[in-house]
Chain A
Amino acid sequence: MVEHRGWSRYIPYLVLSLGVAIVAFPVYLCFVGSTHPQDVIANGNMPITPGPLFFETYYKTLFVGSSGSTREPVSTMLLNSFIMASMIAIGKIAISIISAYSVVYFKFPFRMAAFWLIFVTLMLPVEVRIYPTYKIASDLHLLDSYAGLTIPLIASATATLFFRQFFLTIPDELVEASKLDGAGPLRFFWDTVLPLSRTNIAALFVILFIYGWNQYLWPILITTRDDMQTIVIGIKKMIVTADALTEWNVVLATAMLAMLPPVMVVILMQRWFVKGLVETEK
């Protein structure tokens, strides 16, 4: 920016490359581990270059499952994770966009009360009320169902606030013009608000998909059947067995597969990801 002389202009490259290397190293090592045979990893002398078993390990992980137990193959878990993450993202966007539309564009008794009822949930994640929520979900027969896996995680205000902020920036002239054209509230929502919200919806979808995919505590409580497991809790269950029996190559391959979809989402949709992250402010 101001001065660019001497060796000091290489400092940014050095620091950033070091940062990237440190950030990437754990994942690199995980990949290396997933390509070596189990006993090479277990005796603690794994080389730090990839081994020969890439295709075998990933095939086994995806379609057969680890041998020591009756675990499901990871492809089932991937599918569950995908369904859960999508349902959380879509569900939360759907209920939030209409409730935000209601509090911004209508005037009705108890409007502020409704807004505050939603707003209070902003920073209280499911973890703080975990057992009562579990009890209610089980009373409603939601254990081992996609509804039970997703709906309790939809109960929060972030998306509502995000849409509310955005709706407040839509010029009033648009509503007035629509009204002159004889459009009602639903017509205006469908023809004007929804198309204008496209990038916001995309940004929010990216953030919520990652949020859903990475859920841990709730899925561990709400699922008991192996075929309802998500990949993130599947990994954990593979390590629980006695240390020596852990099939580390399968565990590491599963970890790689668990990271791949959300990381790809961040990299490929970076613009929306950054927008969603910065504008929802968590």
Chain B
Amino acid sequence: MQKRAIFGGKTLPYLLLLPQLFVVGVFFYWPASQAVWQSFLLEDAFGLNTSFVWFENYKELFADAGYYRTMLTTGVFAIMVAGLSLSLALLLAVQADKSIHGAGVYKTLLIWPYAVAPAVAGVLWIFMFQPSLGVIAHAMRNFGIDWNPLLNGNDALLLVVMASTWKQISYNFLFFLAGLQSIPRAVIEAAAIDGASRTRRFWTIILPLLSPTVFFLVVVNIVYVFFDTFGIIDAMTQGGPSKATETLVYKVFFDGRLGGNLGSSAAQSVILMVMVVALTAVQFRFIERKVAY
């Protein structure tokens, strides 16, 4: 905000800010503070009595093995989706960055899944892998693979990971391609003249120069798994079987549903907010460093 030429004005700047501050105040700060307040309250089963219980909801949460399991599921889910979608996207981006015919067409054909709603992606994948009617599930059974995401937790998690990865490849691909195209050709050609092989050039020059993009994408992919996969999970498994695909956000939704356990749900919301703020802070420090280059 280092503009030299600026306007004066006593009320106009506030008027221009008002609509956004109003919306943010009513639908962000108010509910967020309500979540914090509610996380200190305990409501009885009928919602008639509420009492202030300090950190009871948090204590209960951290004494609950189920909560750790959900954290673990979310972690495994995030690592798998980030790992898979980043490596596949990088592979595709490296190929698309070579001087080939029709690069633009390939690019178009690879980026559209970004626009598919998570819940719809879930429907597409459950349709392929549903044990009784899925085309691929049938093929797997013919090969003798025991597959049932409706009963087996690991199968279910794998299915959710596949659908989430499928949707995220396009985003990662676009950023990797942009990153690759910003690497000066001269550097790579110089290495080639020095006799560095294709593989060596990739590991010692391209990947290090791409590391800011990789870091940025890792954070974005984690946030994606945290929040945007809600629709995928709800359409495919509803967190089941027996909570094998329940992520932190899904648990917030599930525990608070129909006024179930609002205190615990609110405490979970607060923990999630803290986690996301921490992630944002990490990312922001990193962006500042990138600017300094």
**Residue A5 CB within 8 A of the other chain:** no
B171, A262: Cβ atoms closer than 8 Å: no
In the complex with contacts A12-B95, A48-B135, A172-B5, A152-B27 CB distance below 8 A: yes
**Residue B166 CB within 8 A of the other chain:** yes
User: Main SS of chain B's interface residues?
Assistant: helix
CB distance from A163 to the nearest CB of B (A): 11
| C-alpha spacing A123/B274, complex, angstroms | 11
A19, B13: Cβ atoms closer than 8 Å: no
Q: Within residues 2 to 25 of chain B, which ones have a CB less than 8 A from any CB in chain A?
A: 2-10, 12-14, 16-17, 19-21, 23-24
**Residue B77 CB within 8 A of the other chain:** no
Instruction: Please indicate the chain A residues that have their CB under 8 angstroms from the CB of B188 in the complex.
Output: 1-2
Contact for B28 among A42, A155, A235, CB less than 8 A: A155
How big is chain B's contact interface, by range?
35 or more
Contact for B117 among A117, A131, A232, CB less than 8 A: A232
In the complex with contacts A12-B100, A33-B127, A277-B171, A118-B24 CB distance below 8 A: yes
CB distance from A167 to the nearest CB of B (A): 8
**Residue B49 CB within 8 A of the other chain:** no
**Residue B60 CB within 8 A of the other chain:** no
Bits for B215-239, please: 1 = Cβ < 8 Å to A, else 0: 0100010010001001100110000
B17, A128: Cβ atoms closer than 8 Å: no
CB distance from A129 to the nearest CB of B (A): 4
Bits for A120-157, please: 1 = Cβ < 8 Å to B, else 0: 01111111111111011100100000000001101111
Of B29-37, B51-59, B67-75, the one with at least 4 CB within 8 A of chain A:
B29-37
In the complex with contacts A172-B4, A259-B115, A278-B174, A128-B109 CB distance below 8 A: no
Contact for A114 among B2, B10, B17, CB less than 8 A: B17
Q: Within residues 99 to 154 of chain B, which ones have a CB less than 8 A from any CB in chain A?
A: 99-100, 106, 108-121, 123-128, 132-135, 138
A248, B128: Cβ atoms closer than 8 Å: no
B20, A136: Cβ atoms closer than 8 Å: no
Interface centre among B8, B9, B128, B220 (most CB of A within 10 A): B9
B117, A216: Cβ atoms closer than 8 Å: yes
| C-alpha spacing A199/B257, complex, angstroms | 42
A127, B21: Cβ atoms closer than 8 Å: no
**Residue B269 CB within 8 A of the other chain:** yes
In the complex with contacts A128-B272, A154-B23, A232-B220 CB distance below 8 A: no
CB distance from A118 to the nearest CB of B (A): 6
**Residue B158 CB within 8 A of the other chain:** no
**Residue B276 CB within 8 A of the other chain:** yes
| C-alpha spacing A22/B249, complex, angstroms | 29
**Residue A242 CB within 8 A of the other chain:** no
Instruction: Please indicate the chain A residues that have their CB under 8 angstroms from the CB of B100 in the complex.
Output: 12-13, 16
A108, B230: Cβ atoms closer than 8 Å: no
A255, B31: Cβ atoms closer than 8 Å: no
**Residue A270 CB within 8 A of the other chain:** yes
Interface centre among A24, A121, A140 (most CB of B within 10 A): A121
**Residue B192 CB within 8 A of the other chain:** yes
Interface centre among A2, A101, A281 (most CB of B within 10 A): A2
Instruction: Please indicate the chain A residues that have their CB under 8 angstroms from the CB of B279 in the complex.
Output: 123
Instruction: Please indicate the chain B residues that have their CB under 8 angstroms from the CB of A186 in the complex.
Output: 12
B120, A255: Cβ atoms closer than 8 Å: yes
In the complex with contacts A99-B16, A262-B116, A128-B123 CB distance below 8 A: no
Bits for B225-266, please: 1 = Cβ < 8 Å to A, else 0: 001001100110000000000000100110010000010011
Question: 22 A-B residue contacts at CB 8 Å?
Answer: A1-B98, A1-B99, A3-B192, A16-B110, A26-B125, A30-B127, A44-B133, A102-B14, A105-B6, A106-B9, A117-B21, A118-B21, A129-B34, A132-B269, A136-B31, A168-B2, A185-B12, A217-B231, A217-B234, A236-B234, A239-B126, A266-B111
Interfacial residues, chain A to chain B (CB-CB below 8 A): 1-3, 11-13, 15-16, 19-20, 22-24, 26-27, 29-30, 33, 41-46, 48, 94-96, 98-99, 101-108, 111, 114-115, 117-118, 121-133, 135-137, 140, 151-152, 154-157, 160, 164, 168, 172, 175-176, 179, 184-186, 188, 210, 213-214, 216-217, 232-233, 235-236, 239, 243, 248, 251-252, 255, 258-259, 262-263, 265-267, 270, 273-274, 277-278, 281-282
Closest 3 CB pairs of A and B: A132-B31, A132-B34, A214-B117
Given known contacts A12-B98, A127-B230, what 11 new A-B pairs fall within 8 Å (CB)?
A15-B92, A48-B135, A98-B17, A124-B277, A128-B273, A129-B35, A132-B266, A263-B115, A277-B174, A278-B175, A282-B223
